[in-house]
A and B are shown apart, each in its own frame.
Chain A
């Protein structure tokens, strides 16, 4: 039996409460508030207490999907990546870098947002990067 507690930060609102995700043999089983978290000091709201629940939902996407004959079908990572790279190259060549836009995200980490805007600016060559801060 492999029981673990992993200290992390809640993914819901901007409070940034610290909590422990409980896992048993690689499956999430619960959430425990962190007493030393500077924002929450051992408390959580109803969303925080249940934050582990959506992670293992049966509706999670587990494979890349590609539209073929108007339907989304499961494909390999290689096929999905090759498709994206060739389409992006084509569109950049035909319509210029500003024909491509990027929605960064308030949901992913700093590192991931950084990498997306780096790709947009350095690889594609556009500043068309925004996210839903306004929404």
Chain B
């Protein structure tokens, strides 16, 4: 989100999901949309039926690529090269939106210099996509009246993830495809309430609504609202930094609420060792996850079906969650658990309901100020919603009026991923999701119907690689990176090209994150899940 915030002033999806139906070109890059966000894919299928063109760029030919007007397979980690190549074509052909650039953006010249130096030939050599295909991608995207970009973790989970996002923002501004319906740069948030966790200040640098912890005004406002003399102004540690902090004996206690870093984080062996080293590990969850098994104390929370509250979806829409059944056993409401710990610790909290908490949030968060449970009866509201009568905001940056003032171009050169293949580790491995499972599988693996669909992990391998390795479909293979090793079943498919393998990360028995690279983006601190060098051997 750091990339979009730097370019536009807001890190969220710029447009509403339903607006995809109004696009006449949709460019999907690094999103397995049909699998990971099926109801977003539905809108894209409808747009295609109405005559829209779909263009897809992905190292793996995922399901939605089969519906594309043009699909290109670029090498993992070469997004900037491919996109800069497209922008080279757009500038050369003079099909950029110069009026939009002049009126609504800044730093265009610095950006243009980078593109001027770069050649289409280089773009093609680095990305592995033919010059002809890059030209076609550029033409289809730039000639649309309303073109929308959709991306996901295939763009962000790289050591240069922030640069990838800024490059997509450049592309949208270059063609004026931002600030009107059916356009924009649209990151699909993987988990149901990632947007909400960010909005609520579940980040080391901001309070709710992205109010900075280092600014005197916000700091004083929150201290007053929370009844304390002072609040810390030093930016806190990100998740990977907390793990380093544990190693350096600086972090002694961690409270994990509803997350499973032992399966979800890169270099799992290393994560496990760090958590074991803690003086105090508190895990609050509904299942005894691999992370909870390491805890000193485990607190049973409740599922979404047993609680009242709100989620904020990927298009910034706040909707209600309503309690359908009573908590299982002695499990407690997660908000009540935090309140109980806080009171035992000596900081008093006396909320009687989630609604009371929400009203406090609305009081101190400008973008949520107009939202209340009463107003959420119905389809929900998209923030910013600054006052009681405000209808919410389906798309951001209207008429080129960016949240930050002017849209900012960034001059970005291609940088290769952190890890390269060599003689010992000759294959590139990338990770992702399958249709029946969700994240680390704690919920879907405990769902009979879904576990029946896909009961175990597998590695996708190109037929030519399979032949060279002398391995058949369904057989076991040993895969190792510089960090770890697992054994798994093989699925032979040309969804992946020769030299590239793919594995889903939902399965703790074949935990692919034992292999992944924890090297992370210097700004967003997002690890490079999507590229790691591995070796393969018949098991």
Contacts and interface: CB of A to CB of B under 8 A. Distances in A.
Nearest to A119: B342
Interface in A44-78: 44-47, 50-57, 59-67, 72, 77
Contact of B335 (A21, A44, A115): A115
Interface string A2-34: 001011111111111110010100111000000
A128 B204 contact: yes
Contacts of B471: none
Contacts of B204: 127-130
Contacts of A9: 192, 304, 311, 313, 319-321
A110 B310 contact: yes
Contacts of B298: 61, 64-66, 72
Contact of A112 (B198, B252, B335): B335
Contacts of A43: 39, 42
Interface string B445-469: 0111110010000000000000000
Contacts of B228: 122
A111 B309 contact: yes
A123 B347 contact: yes
B156 interface: yes
Contacts of A1: none
B526 A134 contact: yes
Given A80-B297, A110-B193, A105 B354 contact: no
Interface residues of B, number: 141
Interface in B308-356: 309-315, 317-326, 328-332, 334-335, 338-342, 344-347, 349, 351, 354
A57 B446 contact: yes
Contacts of A83: 297
Contact of B207 (A15, A77, A117, A131): A117
Interface of A: 4, 6-18, 21, 23, 26-28, 36-40, 43-47, 50-57, 59-67, 72, 77, 80-85, 87-89, 91, 95, 97-119, 121-123, 125-135
28 contacts: A10-B192, A15-B40, A16-B314, A46-B435, A46-B449, A55-B305, A55-B306, A56-B328, A62-B329, A64-B300, A83-B297, A85-B345, A89-B346, A91-B252, A95-B250, A99-B253, A100-B251, A101-B255, A103-B257, A104-B200, A105-B258, A114-B357, A118-B226, A119-B341, A119-B347, A130-B202, A131-B202, A134-B238
Interface of B: 1, 17-18, 36-40, 42, 156-157, 188-205, 207-208, 213, 222-223, 226-228, 231-232, 234-239, 242, 245, 250-259, 261, 264-265, 279-280, 282, 285-288, 292-293, 295-301, 303-307, 309-315, 317-326, 328-332, 334-335, 338-342, 344-347, 349, 351, 354, 357-358, 360-361, 379-380, 435-438, 443-444, 446-450, 453, 520, 524-527, 529
Given A6-B323, A9-B304, A125-B232, 11 more contacts: A26-B326, A60-B300, A89-B346, A91-B280, A100-B255, A101-B245, A107-B192, A109-B310, A110-B309, A127-B236, A129-B201
